[in-house]
Structure 1
């Protein structure tokens, strides 16, 4: 079965209520008063011009996922690695429309080349006040991508899934904020640290798909905010 077929199968199982990849202790799906709807595009594709650094046969060498690094000057989540996405506008008929519009505005991709496989359960982000729906897509006809506005993004890049799965690139990110300690999965790839919401979605997806590989969870990377 291809990676695309496995993703589609998982989305269908979630839609049927037969699977739920997320840990509700971290991100409850209830929409508190004042929270806003948002969507991100989790876009996979069989792209072969950026080779994986890892030589471990953990995933097809050409399988990538689209990410971006947020500008360091942003007030919300500055410098963090994220999926393309943002808040739902009045002109967005659906959350899928929202994810595709935001991806086009942030990376320049052509939405016509994206096959939408489905939506994942929405995740609450208490820090920013959003309820975010990850939209899973397959890049059927890849188009060029790059930073559209450097005031919003520092870089746009595709990361090989094989590198994300490699245990050598996995860390537990320990965040200290206002005297509290939080721990979550993280990835050290493409000279960046992927953590927070983005890492949680990727880690949960890989586990639900059966792609995850055991790694040393005691290897910590500390962040102080």
Structure 2
């Protein structure tokens, strides 16, 4: 099964035409990292995306939901190789079965001081994945796109101490906010998949995330 048209459409979008790039213009770029946005067919005939939940015992970003990924090492040949390597290390992904479709532009992440390149990929025949190191990743989840696109699961997350307000999701106990939610929301917009949702439904980020 080849990558769906909507994913190829996102990959083919000119970086100058991506609203998120314009909103982040002027922010400083820090140490480079990459994440893998891995989409694939689900058992129910739909599609899903792979997300990880960080271990609750970590000193930074404990319990937060993110894409597999990490720092681009000197030995990596760019963001794609780094994202695939990190996915092998974090979730045991067999990257031979992954089709890289493209990349979103490098995005500055002011909170951590990193610049993150999201790598778009399609997983035509999903195989086994797991949390390789439970001290780092608590669980790995394939989240149905249908659930993420459901307006009932969408809201605006607010973070008073940082005057932060951005799209967020809550699906099956996963609270998805910050960079991960912003990039997912932008991807759905570019793909033409977004359904109208109540952006005025504002909810404060849970304390367990605000203090980490």
Q: Above 0.5 in TM-score?
A: yes
Matches within 5 A, 1:184-223: 184-223=166-205
| Alignment correspondent of 1:65 | 49
Q: For residue 117 of structure 1, give the secondary structure of its aligned residue in structure 2.
A: strand
| Alignment correspondent of 1:45 | 40
Do the aligned residues in 2 keep the contact of 1:170 with 1:216 (CA within 8 Å)?
yes
Which of the residues 82, 90, 94 maps onto 1:106?
Answer: 90
TM superposition shift of 1:71: 1.0
In the alignment, structure 1 residue 142 sits paired with structure 2 residue 126: yes
TM superposition shift of 1:191: 1.1
| Alignment correspondent of 2:31 | 36
Taking a change above 3 Å as real, the CA distance of residues 220 and 30 of structure 1, as seen in their structure-2 partners, is: closer
TM superposition shift of 1:31: 4.5
Unaligned runs of 5+ in 1: 52-60
Q: For residue 160 of structure 2, give the secondary structure of its aligned residue in structure 1.
A: strand
| Alignment correspondent of 2:79 | 95
TM-score, structure 2 normalization: 0.91
TM-score, structure 1 normalization: 0.86
| Alignment correspondent of 2:22 | 24
TM superposition shift of 1:142: 1.5
TM superposition shift of 1:135: 0.2
Do the aligned residues in 1 keep the contact of 2:155 with 2:199 (CA within 8 Å)?
yes
Unaligned runs of 5+ in 2: none
- Structure 1 segments of 4+ aligned residues over 6 angstroms from their partners: none
**Any idea what the Cα deviations from partners look like across 1:54-81, whole Å, max 9, x if unmatched?**
xxxxxxx520000000112222211110
Task: Give the aligned CA root-mean-square deviation in angstroms.
Answer: 1.8
**Any idea what the Cα deviations from partners look like across 1:188-221, whole Å, max 9, x if unmatched?**
1021111000000010011111100111112222
Do the aligned residues in 2 keep the contact of 1:76 with 1:128 (CA within 8 Å)?
no
Matches within 5 A, 1:119-134: 119-134=103-118
Q: For residue 9 of structure 1, give the secondary structure of its aligned residue in structure 2.
A: helix
User: Distance between the aligned counterparts of 2:107 and 2:202, measured in 1?
Assistant: 25
User: Distance between the aligned counterparts of 2:194 and 2:188, measured in 1?
Assistant: 5
TM superposition shift of 1:6: 1.9
Do the aligned residues in 2 keep the contact of 1:121 with 1:133 (CA within 8 Å)?
yes
